[in-house]
Structure 1
Amino acid sequence: MSRLPRLRSSPDPSDPPIPSIATTLGFSMSTSTLGYKRKAEDDLDAEALDQPRKLPAIGNGATARPLAASRSALNRPTTITGPVAKQPSGPQRLTRPEPPKLSTSAPRRTTRATSAPPKQLGLSTGLIRPSGRVVSASRVASGSELQTKEFRDLKNQVASIESTQLANAERLAQTMDAERAKVAELEANHRALSLELANAKSLELDKRRELVSASDEIEKLRMKHAKEIMELEMEAKSKAREARELADELRLAKSDLERERDNVSNLKATLSHQSTSHIALNAQINALQAQKAATQMQLDALMTTSSDKTLDLETAHRRILDLEQDARESEMVRRKLHNMVQELKGNIRVFCRVRPVLTSDLSPSSSFTSNLTPDDEEKGREADITFPDKRDHKEIVVSSSSSSAMGSERKEIYNFGFDRVFEPESTQVEVFEEISFLAQSCVDGYNVCIFAYGQTGSGKSFTMEGGSTEATTGMIPRAVNQVFKAADDLKSKGWEYKMDGQFLEIYNETINDLLGKGEFDKKKHEIKHDKSGTRVTDVNVMPLQSPASVTSLLRVANSRRTVAATLMNERSSRSHSVFTLRISGTNTHTGESCEGSLNLVDLAGSERLNSSGAAGDKDRLKETQNINKSLSALGDVIAALGEKAEKGEKHIPYRNSKLTYLLQNSLSGNSKTLMILNLSPLAAHLNESLCSLRFATKVNNTMIGTAKKQIRGSS
């Protein structure tokens, strides 16, 4: 709605023109009237702004003719302006006219006195004109009367003007009331139209929602229709395909019908021939009925036999349960017998293995050529080692020849006997066959310790860790596989096992964790002996689920082991490595439990300072001294154990070395211990080999106590 136009008065055109006397009389609109007018106008403007629709201007089309100000000055009262000046047509502000304020005193005319001759001063009846001329008294009187008449006419005109203004005010008030009524009516119409507009908008929104829902419904119907058309088309195609198939079937049926007709004709021809055989068939039927009776009798006999077999099956099931019980009892007996056999073989045994000559040993560029004496070069590179015992393989003979001071040749022969001697042609499988029984003892709940001893380059690491192929797998992975296999075999008898492992290194009398994540020598590991066995503080113990997990564990450990090159071996092990596999088992049927451990030790290479070339290197010198010290301490412990077995009480110096202190339980008689002596076949290493053989003989002759089965929770 547009803004309402300003209301204006509509004077009657028949009214006489009102002279503009407002300026002459000096009257003006009051401030209060102007304020009222502006307020009314602002209210109407505000209401017009709030309306949303435009309304036509309100008015009767008459042009108001307000009073025009007179151009004459107040000092000329005798002149009256003509008709009222025309105001520009258009809306006028509503004002309430006020009556002009009239002055009761006549306008004063100013006379100016002028100097005159003395003869004129006596004229008392004359007047002086404003221009300085003297007027006579009669003319002054006539002028006064004329002014009085003009004034009365002026008063009459003012009175008529006032009456006209009052009439105009009344008409203006009436017009204002009519306009206010129209405004109220317009406001009512506006409110009604606003309400209708809101209703129309809500109705339009409803229609739009209905239109949207109808559109969605139409779209759904269109999609449904399209889907139905598609389904009908597919169904039509399927029907057409079925019709084609039925047509093919009909064609085949017709051909079959023709063929059957031919067959029927043939059958009719043969029916006459078959009628003669009907009598024979009746005879066969009688025979079959007799056979059926006999078969029924056989079936009854089989039912009787089946019931007997069911009884036999129940008996066999009970027998199986008894056999399982006997198997569990036999397993206990087997463990006892197996332990007795191992004790008869000795709780500490020594195997000797001579490695074959390698290609690197025969190479002229080999580092071993610098250690050969002229005598060794004359005799060849391979030492004189024989194996006379071809049946039990328990003896080894080493021959050595030397020149005396008189120039005569002196030959010495050394015989050594061990629990088993492996020739250079022996494979890893043959060596492990003798060790597999010890792995079974670990599963049965005994502590087992297997360690490789020998000089540098004699094949200790190959024997314990093996090569990259399956045939060259070493004793550690084979023993672990055997333990897992034995544990799986015992699951059927109610045994459940849990295994974990740790891998330690003793380097320069310092224990390092090969499975740790930090740097070596950062943690101080201490060896603790208590009722539960031997443990090392602050080491990582990894749970083992399968042999593959052990393989990855060994790979990580070997990558961290300390190795260095010496003159005796380009990749000599400079530390003792100790792999410990702990196994704990529980029998769910009998409630029996056991704990065992398998210590697999790869000792550092024993070598003399002058032959290893370590004397010129401070670090290699310290390593060699610590290695020889620990191996010497191992020999002292074994010698003390032998003296203790012969003479009784004897102090065992386990604490002289970290190696012997760590293996205390494996050497104290509470374990089954096996030492694998590794020898080099080279003549250049003959002296080292003889020292190793003497040390192994001392160990083999040592008697230690009987191994005890480790029961979980026992002291």
Structure 2
Amino acid sequence: MSRLPRLHSSPDRPVAGPSMVSTMTSLKRKAITEDDEEAMDQPKKLPAIGRGHQSRPLQPTRNATNLTTSRLNGTTSRPLTRPQAPNLTTSRTTRGTSAPPTSSSSRSLYSSTRQPAKAPTTRKDLPIRTASGPTRCISEDDKKIQAIANKVESWQSMHGNKLAGLEADMAAERSKVADLEANHNFLRKQLEDAKTQELLKQRELSNVSDEIEALKKRHARELKDLEFDLKREVTAAKDELANMKSRHARELMDLEMDVKKREREIQQLQEDLRLCRGDLERERETVSTLKSTISHQSNARIALGTENHALQSQKTALQTELDMYLATISSLNLKLEASQKEIDALKHETMEAETARRKLHNMVQELKGNIRVFCRVRPVLPSDLPSPETPPDSSSSGFDLAERLKEEMRANIAFPDRLDHKEIVVASSSESATGQERKEVYNFNFDRVFEPESSQAEVFEEISLLAQSCTDGYNVCVFAYGQTGSGKSFTMEGGPTATSSGMIPRAVEQVFQVAEELKRKGWEYKMEGQFLEIYNETINDLLGKGEFDKKKHEIKHDPKTNSTRVTDANVVPLHSPTQVRSLLAVAQSRRSVAATLMNERSSRSHSVFTLRISGHNVNTGERSEGSLNLVDLAGSERLNASGTAADKDRLKETQSINRSLSALGDVIAALGEKGEKGDKHIPYRNSKLTYLLQNSLSGNSKTLMILNLSPLAAHLNESLTSLRFATKVNNTTIGTAKKQVRTS
């Protein structure tokens, strides 16, 4: 239902009449001046009707002319009439607005139609607020009246002679305005009734809508409750159906498992039945076989019974004999136990006697101050055998031929002392000028003589006590002497295996072992090692990083500590015996060697390995400093025998080696004369070797010389020379070794 605009009017407010219009016109005309004549062509605005009065202008109605019927209260109203506006052809008409016509056109239009024209829209058309009430809106008819009044005023100002006609027209227009006002009042009343009916209908419609909404909400809640109950029932039905299905499935599965179990049991019973039938057949066969066997066994039992009686008699005789043997064995065991006890006691006494003898011998050697000398004869090596010019006979094997060649090449060397192993006898034969054969026998005695069959372990067993003495604060020196190829390097350095290792690695291992044992007594040891070479009277550092002869090494002796140092020599801290073996391998690869006629790899220099040991007892505060010098001397050889006279370098090396060994002999001889005469100059400085070993040869250390001999008859003269030199050394007195111990 469309709403109509409400017409605001008040019955107590009078509508503007003709007198009011004329009064306003006269007042307006008086205000016009001569200067405004040019502006007279424009329409003049009339004051709003009812300004300054209590009357309220009517408001225009929307679509009032087209309203024919009304649905108010279900009744039909008569159509309302509205006066038509004048047709203005000279200006464009709009709703509530109109352009002012010119004077000529206005006059013609007015005279022909006598219809009022629409007033132009101005600010006065807008709602105006009076002092007595709220804002009032000007209706469409009021706008027309204003337009007419404006035209009348302009026409009166321009054409005073037409005033009377205009007043008549204004009267007619006023009557029309009165009709319009009455029509507006009637329409307003109908509109108010329609609004009232509409409000009632709207209230009823609102109430019905509320009831419908309430019913919808109630129905929705009931529908939701119904759906929830239905879903719950469906879910319960589904769960029950699922439970029934699962229960039926389990029952079906159990039935199937029972059927399978029954089938397996039937198969097992059938298999057992088959096996039982097979066993029954085998048992029947066995029974038949046993019956035949019983018949044979019964015959055999008779024969065995006879044999058993014979064996019983034989057993009795053997038991008697066995008792006799057991008695004899018991008596022999008693005798054996008694003999074993006697043997153990004798061995113990022998060992104690040997230990006491060695201690007494060492004490005597220390009191006498002699240099101890060991002699070792190497075996004949395969390299010593000449290559055969003719192949051996088929009747003799290669081993027999080698043994025969060894016997022919071996010198006549005997070892008569089988108990103490201190004597060596060398026999030689020669022809005199008269052609007679002359035989000579030489006897030599040393502290220990090792035969060719002696092992490295047996040699080291004799010098292990000396190696141990360096941990107690003694200076120990062990040097190997002998001609070229007599086995000095093998004795001192040894071979690659643990069995063939020499004195140097064994002595170092012994020192480490003793140091480890002394840790329980509070001793802590620090060990250092150096490896030097004396080649052509020049000292080379075998553990250095640079080349030889790049540094000049000098020997420095400290008389306070009886220690010897070599300047610019590389001293390596030692932590394990394995490290010493690797150092020996490095030094061996750097040592100067060359081939001669007597030895394919002859040592052309003297090597000196020095192990310095510093100990400290944390319990007593005692300190000890010892050193172990292990010297491998170069081989002594004659120029003619070695074949080095033709080689200038080898000749120089041989002369230098022989000169240093001769200086060693002079030092030992001077030490012997000093022991007899009391005051003798010792020529240590004649050789770098003797000067380096000064503290080891001056009586402040325990010194051991190992004489190495070749077993070949071709080297007999060199061997005799070495034996005589070793005898001289053994008879030399150099003083008593001193223990280097101090208290911190």
Report the TM-score, using the length of structure 1 for normalisation.
0.50
Q: Does 1:571 align with 2:601?
A: yes
Bigger radius of gyration among the two: 2
**Separation in 2 of the partners of 1:581 and 1:703?**
25
1:586 counterpart letter in structure 2: H
State whether residues 610 and 628 of structure 2, in contact with CA within 8 Å, keep that contact through their aligned partners in structure 1.
yes
Structure-2 change in CA distance of 1:548 and 1:338 (3 Å): farther
**Separation in 1 of the partners of 2:414 and 2:724?**
17
Report which stretch shifted further, 383-392 or 346-355: 346-355
1:348 counterpart letter in structure 2: I
Q: Secondary structure at the match of 1:693?
A: helix
Structure-2 change in CA distance of 1:339 and 1:361 (3 Å): closer
The equivalent residue for 2:459 is 431
C-alpha deviation, 1:468, in angstroms: 1.2
Show the 5 A alignment for 1:216-615: 340=363, 343=366, 346-364=369-387, 380-530=408-558, 531-532=560-561, 533-615=563-645
1:534 counterpart letter in structure 2: T
State whether residues 701 and 738 of structure 2, in contact with CA within 8 Å, keep that contact through their aligned partners in structure 1.
yes
**Separation in 1 of the partners of 2:611 and 2:617?**
20
**Separation in 2 of the partners of 1:340 and 1:624?**
39
State whether residues 497 and 583 of structure 1, in contact with CA within 8 Å, keep that contact through their aligned partners in structure 2.
yes
C-alpha deviation, 1:448, in angstroms: 0.1
State whether residues 355 and 424 of structure 1, in contact with CA within 8 Å, keep that contact through their aligned partners in structure 2.
yes
Structure-2 change in CA distance of 1:412 and 1:475 (3 Å): same
User: How much identity, in percent, do the aligned residues show?
Assistant: 82
Structure-2 change in CA distance of 1:713 and 1:363 (3 Å): farther
Deviations 1:31-73 (A, max 9, x none): xxxxxxxxxxxxxxxxxxxxxxxxxxxxxxxxxxxxxxxxxxx
C-alpha deviation, 1:440, in angstroms: 1.0
Structure-2 change in CA distance of 1:713 and 1:407 (3 Å): same
**Separation in 2 of the partners of 1:499 and 1:664?**
22
C-alpha deviation, 1:697, in angstroms: 0.2
State whether residues 454 and 692 of structure 1, in contact with CA within 8 Å, keep that contact through their aligned partners in structure 2.
yes
Q: Does 1:626 align with 2:625?
A: no
**Separation in 2 of the partners of 1:442 and 1:363?**
44
State whether residues 370 and 732 of structure 2, in contact with CA within 8 Å, keep that contact through their aligned partners in structure 1.
no
**Separation in 2 of the partners of 1:404 and 1:352?**
31
Deviations 1:533-554 (A, max 9, x none): 1100000000000111111111
**Separation in 2 of the partners of 1:345 and 1:462?**
31
The equivalent residue for 2:697 is 667
C-alpha deviation, 1:418, in angstroms: 0.2
> Post-superposition, which runs of at least 4 consecutive aligned residues in structure 1 deviate over 6 A?
336-339, 376-379
Structure-2 change in CA distance of 1:346 and 1:355 (3 Å): farther
Structure-2 change in CA distance of 1:516 and 1:338 (3 Å): farther
C-alpha deviation, 1:341, in angstroms: 7.0
**Separation in 1 of the partners of 2:736 and 2:690?**
19
State whether residues 456 and 606 of structure 1, in contact with CA within 8 Å, keep that contact through their aligned partners in structure 2.
yes
C-alpha deviation, 1:364, in angstroms: 2.3
State whether residues 487 and 496 of structure 1, in contact with CA within 8 Å, keep that contact through their aligned partners in structure 2.
yes
Q: Secondary structure at the match of 2:672?
A: helix
Structure-2 change in CA distance of 1:482 and 1:379 (3 Å): closer
Count of aligned positions: 373
State whether residues 368 and 735 of structure 2, in contact with CA within 8 Å, keep that contact through their aligned partners in structure 1.
no
C-alpha deviation, 1:346, in angstroms: 4.8
The equivalent residue for 1:642 is 672
Q: Secondary structure at the match of 2:708?
A: strand
Structure-2 change in CA distance of 1:360 and 1:712 (3 Å): same
Q: Secondary structure at the match of 2:373?
A: strand
**Separation in 2 of the partners of 1:506 and 1:346?**
27
Structure-2 change in CA distance of 1:589 and 1:377 (3 Å): closer
State whether residues 468 and 511 of structure 2, in contact with CA within 8 Å, keep that contact through their aligned partners in structure 1.
yes
**Separation in 2 of the partners of 1:660 and 1:456?**
20
State whether residues 484 and 637 of structure 2, in contact with CA within 8 Å, keep that contact through their aligned partners in structure 1.
yes
State whether residues 347 and 671 of structure 1, in contact with CA within 8 Å, keep that contact through their aligned partners in structure 2.
no
Report the TM-score, using the length of structure 2 for normalisation.
0.49
Deviations 1:572-622 (A, max 9, x none): 000000000000000011111100000000000000000000000000000
2:542 counterpart letter in structure 1: L
Report which stretch shifted further, 521-530 or 668-677: 521-530
State whether residues 369 and 735 of structure 2, in contact with CA within 8 Å, keep that contact through their aligned partners in structure 1.
no
Deviations 1:89-116 (A, max 9, x none): xxxxxxxxxxxxxxxxxxxxxxxxxxxx
Structure-2 change in CA distance of 1:345 and 1:363 (3 Å): farther
Q: Secondary structure at the match of 2:741?
A: coil
Show the 5 A alignment for 1:50-65: none
C-alpha deviation, 1:339, in angstroms: 7.7
**Separation in 2 of the partners of 1:584 and 1:521?**
30
The equivalent residue for 2:724 is 694
1:493 counterpart letter in structure 2: K
State whether residues 339 and 441 of structure 1, in contact with CA within 8 Å, keep that contact through their aligned partners in structure 2.
no
2:720 counterpart letter in structure 1: L
State whether residues 347 and 707 of structure 1, in contact with CA within 8 Å, keep that contact through their aligned partners in structure 2.
no
Q: Secondary structure at the match of 1:580?
A: strand
The equivalent residue for 1:80 is none
**Separation in 1 of the partners of 2:369 and 2:491?**
22
**Separation in 1 of the partners of 2:693 and 2:530?**
14
Q: Secondary structure at the match of 1:380?
A: helix
The equivalent residue for 1:222 is none
1:412 counterpart letter in structure 2: E
User: What 5-or-longer segments of structure 1 have no aligned partner?
Assistant: 1-335, 367-375
Q: Does 1:685 align with 2:715?
A: yes
**Separation in 2 of the partners of 1:377 and 1:554?**
35
State whether residues 504 and 512 of structure 1, in contact with CA within 8 Å, keep that contact through their aligned partners in structure 2.
yes
The equivalent residue for 1:38 is none
RMSD (Å), alpha carbons: 2.5
State whether residues 353 and 679 of structure 1, in contact with CA within 8 Å, keep that contact through their aligned partners in structure 2.
yes
1:698 counterpart letter in structure 2: K
State whether residues 474 and 738 of structure 2, in contact with CA within 8 Å, keep that contact through their aligned partners in structure 1.
yes
Deviations 1:340-392 (A, max 9, x none): 476258551000000000111123279xxxxxxxxx99992110000000000
Q: Secondary structure at the match of 1:436?
A: helix
**Separation in 1 of the partners of 2:431 and 2:363?**
50
**Separation in 2 of the partners of 1:558 and 1:587?**
36
**Separation in 2 of the partners of 1:547 and 1:338?**
31
User: What 5-or-longer segments of structure 2 have no aligned partner?
Assistant: 1-358, 390-403
State whether residues 456 and 502 of structure 2, in contact with CA within 8 Å, keep that contact through their aligned partners in structure 1.
yes
Q: Secondary structure at the match of 1:649?
A: coil
State whether residues 567 and 611 of structure 1, in contact with CA within 8 Å, keep that contact through their aligned partners in structure 2.
yes
2:543 counterpart letter in structure 1: L
**Separation in 1 of the partners of 2:688 and 2:716?**
29
